[in-house]
């Protein structure tokens, strides 16, 4: 009776049971092996078709780019992570959650959740040398994780550039003297002389609130989500200018954006230092700083404090969106990813703390001038950046200069973060369609269409009721869907014991302390990080169920909140959808299909192999995007080892 024998070898050789007659020749992908496999001295020869001819020059696939230097990567990541949230969210969370006490849960969440997840995403991108979708060739079953990342990134890009458009509008308005939102402006005389009362909130309106709600947003002309109203064309021009700037900065990929970050990533630090120095000289600034840092130890017992700390760390680092993974994919294989991880994460969180002094020193002066507590002038989100802080700047001598400086800083912060999100999208597409890299005209056309598409979709957010749609997308784009995607990334890489070894392979030439620190990260991945992620996810669901979504006094209707839930669900549902697609493409029983779909494809890490030639341009060899199938009989397997069937061995045999 014929016997059955299967063997799996590295290089993506898959098991397939097949019955052969004794003495029948072994086959590889349908080719008969002409040599006698029982003779260990013989070498594999193939009775097969000649290799495919080299592709014509216009279809040759160029290798991926790499960063021009390590500082370009560091500055790009710091610019991506240090965004508007560091300036307008962290200081507010700090004073709301117990002042200086908030730093305790913040740094606990940073070192047990943020930094380990950050390293995980950087390492995956650097080792795989591929974007958010292509990198999952290491496990085709989980390609949906990359698609989900892409969905989140697209939602973020859609609304994030609207913030830059608002910043542009304020920046242009800052060249007027007096500032149009100050009491010195003639149009605001009736506001400052006669206390105009907001009928909905029952309190007096400031000129900066009127400028923001009427001149910029036009929200007073809209009744809610169902009534967007007309497009506000001054903002439409600002949004167009913002996308044009993004297009030209990213036209040549990391070769252009890697140079731009030398300015955009460092300029905000210069402005923050200047604002801190100026704020320290103002009357009342110490009261503002004291309000920012005064500890309230009782707040540590509140679950909301811990959730706010975890959320701020998670979102400020930009984990799970795909930008980090994409930027790391352009690193050299032996780059010290652990060092970069520590520098970027600590630098990002230090910036958040540092920015609080610049914000609250000037808000303290504003409260002193008005004779009210600091808590009455403090705000978060757009309310801080476009209402409270501009009003405080208008009270300073030389207010035009300070306003220009502040909004220029906000513009730089926003552009850097958008670079990272756009890089995640473009890298994912270019890796899936690598022929675009070799054709600058096609690549420019793709980038232009992408930016123009985002511009058209963004017009909804700059209508009279656009702020309602902005708040909806902002609330759900990076909500539970992003946490679920990150949980899948964490679970997948944690169960793979090989992942830590892969990191060691990359840092083998690095200082010995890197390997020791890796043990700490491994412990976090196994014990701490999953529980903290589940805590955040549970809190989000509880808050989403119990707390109505609102903007100001407007409460969102049930259908609006349901639409937001659908946005978040669409992102995380990509994981099971594409898992089903991957399994359906395989053959055999359900168990066999599952086993095949979790095995790496033969082109896994092919990009890094191509770049290993010291920068020399090489064309990626023709590779099969499916596992090899080897059918062997008992006699065939007598002297065969796994080494005989690696992808490299068969390639070398074919080339010979």
Question: Which is nearest to 300 in space by CA: 93, 113, 101, 91?
Answer: 101
List the structure tokens of 591: 């168990």
Q: Pairing mode, if any, of strands 550-551 and 46-47?
A: unpaired
- In the chain the first and final C-alpha atoms are separated, in Å, by 37
Binding-site residues for Na(+): 79, 82, 86, 316, 348, 413, 416
Long-range Cβ pairs for the range 452-456 (8 Å, 24+) = 452/243, 454/154, 454/157, 454/158, 454/161, 454/243, 455/239, 455/240, 455/243
List the structure tokens of 444: 């420019």
Binding-site residues: 79, 82, 86, 316, 348, 413, 416
User: What does the alpha-carbon distance between residue 37 and residue 205 come to, in Å, rounded to a whole number?
Assistant: 88
Question: Which is nearest to 230 in space by CA: 240, 238, 219?
Answer: 219
| Secondary structure of residue 629 in the 3-state scheme | strand
User: What does the alpha-carbon distance between residue 367 and residue 382 come to, in Å, rounded to a whole number?
Assistant: 19
User: What does the alpha-carbon distance between residue 17 and residue 6 come to, in Å, rounded to a whole number?
Assistant: 6
Which residues have a Cβ under 8 Å from the Cβ of 488 and sit 6 or more positions away? 142, 145, 575
Residue count of the chain, please give it.
Answer: 656
Query: Is residue 113 a contact partner of residue 533, using CB atoms and an 8 Å limit?
Result: yes
User: What does the alpha-carbon distance between residue 531 and residue 525 come to, in Å, rounded to a whole number?
Assistant: 10
User: What does the alpha-carbon distance between residue 623 and residue 644 come to, in Å, rounded to a whole number?
Assistant: 18
- Check whether the bond before 178 is cis (ω within 30° of 0): yes
Query: Is residue 217 a contact partner of residue 211, using CB atoms and an 8 Å limit?
Result: no
Which ranges of 376-398 would DSSP assign to H, the alpha helix? Answer: 382-383, 389-394
User: What does the alpha-carbon distance between residue 402 and residue 124 come to, in Å, rounded to a whole number?
Assistant: 42
Which ranges of 524-610 would DSSP assign to H, the alpha helix? Answer: 529-546, 558-572, 574-585, 590-597, 606-610
């Amino acid at each position: 009776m014929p016997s059955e024998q299967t063997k799996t070898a590295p290089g993506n050789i898959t098991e397939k049971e097949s019955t052969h007659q004794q003495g029948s020749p072994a086959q590889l992908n349908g080719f008969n092996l002409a040599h006698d496999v029982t003779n260990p001295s013989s070498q594999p020869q193939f009775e097969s078709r000649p290799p495919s001819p080299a592709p014509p020059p216009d279809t040759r696939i160029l290798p991926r780019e790499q960063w021009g230097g390590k500082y370009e990567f560091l500055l790009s990541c710091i610019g991506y992570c240090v965004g508007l949230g560091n300036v307008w969210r962290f200081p507010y969370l700090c004073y709301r959650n117990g002042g200086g006490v908030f730093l305790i849960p913040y740094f606990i969440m940073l070192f047990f959740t943020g930094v380990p997840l950050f390293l995980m995403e950087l390492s995956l991108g650097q080792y795989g040398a591929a974007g958010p979708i292509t990198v999952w060739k290491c496990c085709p079953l989980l390609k949906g994780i990359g698609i989900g990342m892409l969905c989140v990134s697209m939602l973020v890009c859609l609304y994030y550039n609207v913030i830059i458009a608002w910043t542009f509008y304020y920046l242009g308005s800052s060249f007027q003297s007096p500032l149009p939102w100050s009491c010195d402006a003639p149009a605001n005389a009736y506001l400052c002389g006669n206390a105009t009362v907001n009928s909905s909130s029952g309190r007096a309106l400031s000129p900066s609130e009127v400028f923001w709600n009427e001149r910029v947003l036009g929200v007073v002309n809209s009744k809610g989500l169902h009534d967007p109203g007309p497009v506000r064309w001054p903002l439409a021009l600002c949004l167009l200018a913002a996308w044009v700037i993004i297009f030209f900065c990213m036209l040549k990929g990391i070769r252009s954006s890697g140079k731009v970050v030398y300015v955009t990533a460092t300029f905000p630090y210069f402005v923050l230092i200047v604002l801190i120095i100026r704020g320290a000289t103002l009357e009342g600034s110490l009261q503002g700083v004291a309000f920012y840092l005064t500890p309230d130890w009782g707040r540590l017992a509140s679950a909301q404090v811990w959730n706010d700390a975890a959320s701020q760390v998670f979102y400020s680092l930009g984990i799970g969106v795909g930008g980090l993974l994409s930027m790391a994919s352009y690193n050299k294989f032996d780059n010290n990813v652990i060092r970069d991880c520590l520098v970027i994460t600590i630098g990002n969180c230090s910036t958040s703390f540092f920015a609080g002094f610049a914000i609250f020193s000037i808000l303290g002066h504003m409260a002193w001038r008005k004779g009210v507590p600091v808590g009455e002038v403090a705000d978060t989100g757009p309310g801080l950046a476009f209402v409270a802080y501009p009003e405080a700047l208008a009270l300073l001598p030389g207010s035009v200069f300070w306003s220009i400086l502040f909004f220029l800083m906000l513009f730089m912060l926003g552009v850097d973060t958008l670079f990272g999100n756009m890089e995640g999208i473009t890298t994912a597409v270019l890796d899936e369609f690598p022929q675009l890299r070799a054709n600058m005209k096609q690549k420019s056309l793709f980038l232009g269409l992408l930016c123009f598409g985002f511009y058209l979709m963004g017009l909804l957010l700059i209508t009279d009721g656009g702020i309602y749609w902005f708040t909806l997308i902002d609330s759900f784009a990076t909500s539970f869907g992003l946490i679920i995607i990150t949980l899948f990334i964490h679970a997948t890489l944690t169960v793979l014991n090989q992942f830590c070894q892969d990191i060691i392979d990359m840092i083998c030439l690095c200082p010995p302390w890197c390997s020791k620190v890796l043990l700490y990260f491994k412990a976090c991945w196994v014990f701490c990080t999953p529980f903290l992620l589940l805590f955040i996810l549970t809190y989000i669901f509880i808050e989403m169920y119990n707390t109505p979504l609102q903007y100001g006094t407007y409460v969102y209707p049930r259908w609006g909140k349901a639409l937001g839930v659908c946005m978040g669900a669409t992102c995380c549902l990509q994981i099971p959808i594409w898992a089903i697609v991957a399994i359906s493409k395989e053959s055999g029983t359900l168990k066999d299909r599952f086993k095949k779909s979790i095995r790496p494809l033969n082109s896994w890490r092919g990009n890094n192999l191509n770049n290993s030639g010291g920068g020399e341009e090489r064309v990626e060899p023709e590779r099969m995007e499916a596992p090899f199938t080897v059918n062997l009989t008992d006699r065939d397997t007598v002297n065969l080892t796994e080494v005989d069937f690696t992808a490299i061995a068969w390639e070398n045999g074919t080339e010979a």
